[in-house]
């Protein structure tokens, strides 16, 4: 029975994320290009304040296993849907993401957009999002710091299974090394503001 339920619900969740650079000085000929990422794991849970979190990741060797490509994304939203579904408007704190390929690292934070969540059987949440995000790449060769922000359009769909422990691990990676979220506007700030785009 447990094996059958795991098969129906999906033990680890799944999804897809697409990214396109919003570059208004040049265009990729012959048409704009989307990078597509298949998500292998996706989890949801609610925190102590009743906010719903989504965390997803892809972690696979890139081409012939020469280097690992890791992509992790987390969404921190208001309360879960009270009924079948709910839309959430997104500003600068809801999304955090990190992409790592060998020594190279990029970070993404949300700017604006929308997320939709739908309740599904077996304690799952299905969702989709359409967001503008800012991406900053870590400077290599000993230069330190981060590049200037570049804007991307991000589209995604996912099915998340309930697993707080695994989800929190992914979310912690997306917030690591100073990329943590500011507290919601309704609460007093506990951390000083930083220079990064958040």
- Per the listing, tokens 């696979």 go with 60
Contact predicate 159/126, CB 8 Å: yes
Residues contacting 81, CB < 8 A, separation 6+: 117, 118, 119
What is the band of 191 on the pLDDT scale with cuts at 50, 70, 90? Answer: very low
What is the band of 185 on the pLDDT scale with cuts at 50, 70, 90? Answer: low
Instruction: List, for residues 123-180, the tens digit of each pLDDT value.
Output: 999 999 999 999 999 877 556 688 899 999 999 999 999 999 999 999 999 999 899 9
Q: What residues are paired with 89 via a beta bridge?
A: 114
What is the spatial distance between Cα 163 and Cα 150, in angstroms, rounded to a whole number?
A: 33
What is the spatial distance between Cα 195 and Cα 144, in angstroms, rounded to a whole number?
A: 15
For residue 38, count other CB atoms closer than 10 A to its CB: 11
pLDDT at 6 over 80: no
Q: pLDDT value at position 45?
A: 98
17-26, 54-63, 94-103, 135-144: lowest mean pLDDT where?
135-144
Question: Bigger pLDDT: 59 or 15?
Answer: 15
Contact predicate 94/110, CB 8 Å: yes
What is the band of 98 on the pLDDT scale with cuts at 50, 70, 90? Answer: very high
Q: pLDDT value at position 195?
A: 44
Distances (CA, A) of 193 to 136, 189, 196: 18, 9, 9
What is the spatial distance between Cα 182 and Cα 198, in angstroms, rounded to a whole number?
A: 8
Instruction: List, for residues 27-51, the tens digit of each pLDDT value.
Output: 666 667 888 999 999 999 999 999 9
pTM of the full structure: 0.84
What is the spatial distance between Cα 108 and Cα 71, in angstroms, rounded to a whole number?
A: 11
Q: Terminus-to-terminus CA distance in the chain, angstroms?
A: 45
């Amino acid at each position: 029975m447990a094996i059958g339920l795991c098969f129906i619900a999906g033990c680890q969740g799944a999804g897809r994320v697409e990214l396109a650079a919003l570059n208004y000085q040049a265009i990729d000929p012959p048409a704009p290009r989307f990078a597509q990422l298949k998500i292998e794991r996706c989890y949801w849970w609610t925190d102590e304040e009743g906010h719903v979190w989504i965390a997803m990741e892809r972690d696979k060797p890139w081409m012939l296993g020469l280097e690992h490509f890791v992509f992790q994304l987390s969404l921190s939203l208001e309360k879960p849907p009270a009924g079948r579904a709910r839309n959430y408007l997104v500003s600068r704190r809801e999304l955090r993401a990190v992409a790592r390929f060998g020594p190279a690292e990029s970070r993404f934070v949300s700017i604006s957009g929308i997320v939709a969540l739908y309740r599904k059987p077996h304690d799952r949440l299905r969702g989709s999002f359409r967001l503008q995000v800012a991406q900053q790449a870590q400077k290599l060769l000993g230069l330190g710091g981060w590049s200037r922000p570049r804007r991307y359009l991000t589209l995604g769909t996912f099915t998340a299974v309930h697993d707080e422990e695994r989800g929190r691990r992914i979310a912690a990676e997306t917030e690591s090394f100073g990329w943590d979220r500011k507290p919601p506007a309704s609460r007093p700030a506990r951390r000083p503001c930083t220079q990064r785009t958040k």
